[in-house]
Amino acid sequence: MARVAIVTGGTRGIGAAISTTLRDAGIKVAANYAGNDEAAKAFTAETGIPAYKFDVSDFDAVQAAVAKIAEEVGPIDIVVNNAGITRDGTLARMSKEDWQAVIDTNLGGCFNLSKATFDGMKSRSFGRIVNIGSVMSQIGRPNIVSYVSSKHAVAGLTKALAVELGPQGICVNGIGPGYFGTEFNRPLMEDAEFTAMVEGRTAVARWGRPEEVAGAAIFLASEAASYVNGH
């Protein structure tokens, strides 16, 4: 029986690349999206992957969506927590609302999806949770304090859940992409000075492509990664 995966933020950018790569490997995929109906409709038409609209920061909405996906696609074995937002701004200019929105989506979304799928994974003695973090979990950068903080927290959540869930056959790992050419990063890509920095600091001297993350995700979601946990 084919495994079933849910990829949050799975209809665009890195999420879309992961969704289609998992599908090509024979995994049944459900892609989540938050608000862009037109992009989600086009994604489903092109790939055949069903798209489900819900807010990953909303605990109850996640519970309902996971139940619906389990009924329509199958019990979820693999979760790729890719959905993320940013609200740029220094500490002095950042509102409490912007701070909370980033934490609730980037970190809370990982908790909500893990919580909603854990019991099923445990009952089948198999589960894979892949949290898409950021290179920002290893460094700091001004003006995106909420984003950096959330990605540091995702790294911590990944390590803690790995220890907790590993004995039950559930592996929890993370991927920390660096500078990737996605719509999310378009403002930075249009900044010549920032692009020059990216080219100077990366070994391949260019922005990454979304599909170049997907290989790591599919490995971590596979049987082959059964002894890889907390990384």
Q: Give the pair of three-digit tokens for residue 108.
A: 């809370």
Angle at 89 between CA 185 and CA 133, to 5 degrees: 45
DSSP 230: -
Task: Please identify which of the residues 33, 52, 147, 179 carries the catalytic annotation.
Answer: 147
**Strand boundaries in 74-212, DSSP class E:** 78-81, 127-132, 170-175
Residue 16 C-alpha from the chain's centroid: 10
Contact 9, 202 (CB under 8 A): no
Does the annotation mark 147 as catalytic? yes
CA 131 to chain CA centroid, nearest Å: 5
Which residue, 151, 186, 167, 182, is CA-closest to 81?
Answer: 151
Distance CA 31, CA 56 (A): 12
Strand partners, 6: 30, 79
Q: Which amino acid is at 97?
A: E
Question: What amino acid positions are annotated as catalytic residues?
Answer: 147
